[in-house]
């Protein structure tokens, strides 16, 4: 489970085009905390997950369950990246 959450957090960070330092600044955590999660698969604390969900609510369902519901605005990072790339192509 821990490595799954670590991978999900990394995917969210990458989808939001944030480096570790910027991501940590945005959600208000220490960079070493995120490094520990992403590099070792350490289980993130609930307050960290809550901060991520408050900052990027569109990923909440996916982060917690692995499911998406695009009609309700609940997407995964891959969907967000594809949407952004499509907007760049057509916009």
Closest CA to 77 of 17, 9, 24, 11: 11
CA-CA distance, 70 to 46, in Å (whole number)? 25
- List pLDDT tens digits, range 16-44: 988 999 999 999 999 999 999 999 988 89
Predicted local confidence at residue 33, as pLDDT = 95
C-alpha separations of 83 from 4, 12, 58, 74, 88 in Å: 24, 14, 13, 13, 9
> Domains in the chain, start-ordered, CATH in brackets?
2-90 (1.10.260.40)
72: left (phi over 0), alpha (psi -120 to 50) or beta: alpha
How does residue 1 score in pLDDT terms, banded at 50, 70 and 90? very low
Residue 85 has pLDDT above 90, yes or no: no
Residue 88 has pLDDT above 90, yes or no: no
């Amino acid at each position: 489970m821990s490595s799954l959450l670590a991978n999900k957090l990394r995917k969210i960070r990458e989808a939001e085009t944030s480096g570790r330092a910027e991501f940590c600044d945005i959600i208000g955590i220490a960079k070493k905390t995120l490094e520990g999660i992403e590099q070792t698969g350490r289980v993130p604390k609930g307050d960290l997950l809550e901060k991520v969900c408050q900052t990027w609510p569109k990923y909440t369902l996916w982060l917690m369950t692995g499911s998406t519901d695009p009609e309700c605005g609940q997407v995964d990072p891959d969907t967000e990246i594809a949407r952004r790339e499509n907007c760049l192509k057509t916009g």
